[in-house]
Structures are given as structure tokens and as C-alpha cells.
Structure 1
Amino acid sequence: MNRKVYIIKGYSKTERERTIDRQFCEWFSEFFKSTAGGGYYINEIEYMDEPTHIELKEKLSSEKLDYGIIVYIGHGANQNDNQLFELNENEIVKAGQFILNCDKQIIILESCRVLAQSVPIVDLADKIPAFENGGIFRNPLTIEESREIYESHIKRCQNGLMVCYACKLGEEAYNFIFSKMFLQHAMNWHLDSSRHCAILPADELMRLVLPSTFVKASDEFGVNQWPVSDGSTNFPIAVSKF
């Protein structure tokens, strides 16, 4: 199966912002390479740092894929129902105009945000699960087993496009809370030993991310932030460890 993840870092206005943006790009990359994220190989993850719109368009349309994921990390806004993304110092683009040559794809937008106050930590450690009242121990899946389960699920999905936004129209995405909750829920779900060879669909993950993002944004910043998604699909986003 031909599948890829494209991680696009947009324009960073300061060195501190650039450091944080790149850190989250790296965390997304590490997640997708892990058993939890579907076991993507290194050559199946493409990273672009402040590309031009021509470079981005050429890269995204360069090959026909069976399944694709684009992660945008950077500044954005909404104008006339179009999601804008600050690609580099000189270019602001409509993110929706840049899609993959692929019938099954997810777009994740960590954008429209204020400056990060501190770097929130994302825990991607491969923990040993706790068992209550005994339990059955299962050996963790290998990368190849994870890939097989992940790709088998992709084949059963209908064609479509799903877009995951860090916040609703008119809101700002604060301090990478959305990305932190997205990655953390996927990893925590992956480590649950009761979900033998199971798949976490992207729409179910978004239902987990919504309340935790809202609560954290409200508690830490006193603001509303509601992650939303367009397109109801059951595309895989995580695989159980066991």
C-alpha cells in the first residue's frame, strides 16, 4: 500500500516559536513512526519547513497514494469560509487548495493560534499498562503487525476527506493544546491492553480530543476552544499496542 504523512511547518515569527513549531512537527513524526501511529517508515513521512506554495503543490501532487495525512502547524485564520495558513514570510495560502492525489485522506490543522507561553510536554513513552484484578498479558505488536492491521482497515474505508481543525470559526488555538490532546489520547488509547489489535478511527479520536481541549483551554487561559472536524469517516489514526 502506498501511504504517506506530510508534515508542513508554516512561518515562525520568532526563534522561540520556530523551536516549538519544530518540536511539535517532530512529535507528530515520532507518533506516526510508532506502532501506535501505524508504523510509517521514515520514507513515508515528508517534512517541509516554510515551503513556497509552488514547492508545496508539487510535493503534495507528486504521486498517487492509497492513503494520506497532512499535518499543518503554523499561523492561520479564516476568511470568507476559507481556512488561511501562513506558509512562509511572504505567502498566505488557502489550505483547502492543497490536497493529496488520494481518495482517502485526513488534513490536521494546528493553526489560528496565539503565541505559545511554554512548551507543553507530549508523552510518547511506550509504557507498560497497569492491570487491575489480574489480567491477560499480550505481547506488544511489532511494527510490521501494526502496519498490516492499519492497512487492512484503510482498505475497508470508503473514499473521502476528513479535515480536523484545532478550533471553531472565530476562535484561536492556544498553546498547542489541540495537538497535545490529539497525540496524548492516541497514545493512551494505544496502550490500553483491552483493545486487542483494534483501530482508533479519526472521528472517534476527535470526540475524545474535543472535551479535553475545551477544559484545558478554559482552565489555563479562560477561553473557549472547540476542536471540530468536517467529514465523517472511520479512517484509522491509531493502532492498539496489543
Structure 2
Amino acid sequence: MRLAELLRANTTMQRKALIIGCPDEKIPGVNDDMRNYRAFFESPAGGGWLSSEIKTLQSPSMLEVQREMKELTSADYSIVVFAGHGEYSHDTRSTQLHLGPDIRIDEYMLKEGAPRHTLIIDACRVHSDTPLLEQIKRSSLALASLPDVSLSRMAFDNHLRKCRPDVAVMYACKIGEAAGDSPGQGGTYSSTLLSESREWASNSINQKTGVLSVSEVHALAVPLVYRQRGGRQTPTGVFPRTVPHFPFAICA
């Protein structure tokens, strides 16, 4: 994507990212996920987010989550990442997320936010009436450095401007499944999303397209996660009918 094309567009899109991590002794990889997502977002490949645009909450209270979700509504685009324990409830027909041993929130709470909004849930979705035998996922991967973060920011914002207001939701696994965790890397789904984005951004052939969307990176991750987990984990996503979809990785 040429610099002149990027500079022609207004680049004042307001972004806000919220990373929620709830680690414990069973899923220490959540700590890796919190670091890895922030590092990716701030990298040129991730769109060159500013540190001030990203908020990380570790094992927050429900009130803290509610407050930060309200803050997201002032942005043009928001993305929320949840990493921790979870389970699927047939009563609410939704994924219940664990902020702490006795604190649960409904996934619907995290679907609010800016007019353009993406939600990534890296948590188990086993049925709530069965034992929660899985842990969650996180991953540390060094992302390839591109030369200029400002170009990535412009490309990210310019693509966002083409997207209609809507919500995209990405789950690490389908209902009834548990999400895998790899010690030292993090969640199987999260680490795959980030590694595939890094590899895509470093491939010069993608200079022509410039943007890897949330649905495209999800599509890349699905077969890899399925294979890594021996067919026991199938990521699933719900994306807007209108295109283009929100950006995830940039090759500017």
C-alpha cells in the first residue's frame, strides 16, 4: 500500500482495546496472553496501537469490567480479549466467563463497546454441568518488526473506515469443547492467531493487499488448532455479513 494513498485519508479513527486476563495455577499461560496481545497490537503488524489505547485488567471485579466496557463506547473501534476459565450455560445459552473463583460474567457483557467491535474469547466452552477439566490458552511469540508503525496505524485506520458498524466474535472452541493451553506459549488459539499474523505480515507478497481481517486470521487458525489438538478443539467465529471485515494484522 503506497504512502501517498494512506496520507490522503483522514487518520483520526479513535481506537480502544481491552485485554482481560484471569490466570490461576491451572492456566498460568494467561499471563503470556496478556503480554502477547499487547505486544502484537503495539507492533506494526498489529496496526501500531498506542500504549495509551490499550487497557489490561488482571482478574478484575465485575464493576471494573462494566466501567471499562462503557469507556469503549466513545471509540470508533474497540477490541476486547478475554483469556481465562469459561463454560457454556444452557440456561443462558451463552458462555460464562470466570473473573474469579466466585465471579462470573456473561459473554454478552463483552459484546458491547464501540460501533465497530471485535471480541476474542480464549476460554473453555465445556457444558456447565460437566467438570471443567481444561485450562486456557496464551502464547508468547516475537512478532516480526516492520519499519514504520505510523504507516501501520494509517493503514489500520483507513481500512476500519471502510467497515460498517457491527460486532465480530471469535471463540477459541465450539460449544461443549475445552480450549488448550501450552506451557510457555499460552493458549493454543491465541498463540496461533498471533503466529499466523506475524508470518502473514512478514510475507512481502501481502504488500498488495495490506490487511488481514479478523475473519481471515480466524480461518487460518481453525485447521491448525484443530490439528494441534487432535480434533478436540474447533475455533468458531461469528462475523458481520457486510464486508470488509475489521482488520487484525497489517502489512504496510
> Gaps spanning 5+ residues in structure 2: where?
1-12, 126-133, 182-186
> Which secondary structure does the structure 1 equivalent of 2:206 belong to?
coil
> Gaps spanning 5+ residues in structure 1: where?
128-139
The answer to whether 1:201 aligns with 2:213 is yes
**Pair 1:37–1:91, CA change in 2 (3 A):** same
What is the CA distance between 1:141 and its match in structure 2?
A: 4.3
1:143 corresponds in structure 2 to 149
Spell out structure 1 runs of 4+ moving beyond 2 A.
Answer: 98-101, 119-123
* In 1: Cα distance, 2:235 partner to 2:83 partner: 15
CA-to-aligned-CA distance 1:6-26 (integer Å, 9 cap, x gap): 10012x332x634x2111110
Alignment of structure 1 residues 209-228 onto 2, 5 Å = 209-218=221-230, 223-228=231-236
Alignment of structure 1 residues 22-61 onto 2, 5 Å = 22-61=31-70
* In 2: Cα distance, 1:48 partner to 1:32 partner: 16
What is the CA distance between 1:2 and its match in structure 2?
A: 1.1
CA-to-aligned-CA distance 1:36-67 (integer Å, 9 cap, x gap): 00000110110001111111101110251100
Q: CA RMSD in A?
A: 1.9
Pick aligned residue for 1:105 from 108, 117, 126: 117
Aligned length: 220
Alignment of structure 1 residues 61-76 onto 2, 5 Å = 61-62=70-71, 63-76=73-86
Give the % identical residues. 24
The answer to whether 1:77 aligns with 2:87 is yes
What is the CA distance between 1:72 and its match in structure 2?
A: 0.1
1:5 corresponds in structure 2 to 17
Alignment of structure 1 residues 226-237 onto 2, 5 Å = 226-232=234-240, 234-237=245-248
* In 2: Cα distance, 1:60 partner to 1:121 partner: 25
Pick aligned residue for 1:177 from 156, 176, 188: 188
Contact preservation (8 Å) 2:80, 2:119: yes
Q: Give the partner amino acid of 1:230.
A: V
* In 2: Cα distance, 1:72 partner to 1:22 partner: 12
CA-to-aligned-CA distance 1:65-106 (integer Å, 9 cap, x gap): 100100000000110221110012320110212334311010
> Which secondary structure does the structure 1 equivalent of 2:205 belong to?
coil
CA-to-aligned-CA distance 1:126-152 (integer Å, 9 cap, x gap): 27xxxxxxxxxxxx4411110000000
TM-score (norm 1): 0.85
Q: Give the partner amino acid of 1:177.
A: T
TM-score (norm 2): 0.82
1:130 corresponds in structure 2 to none
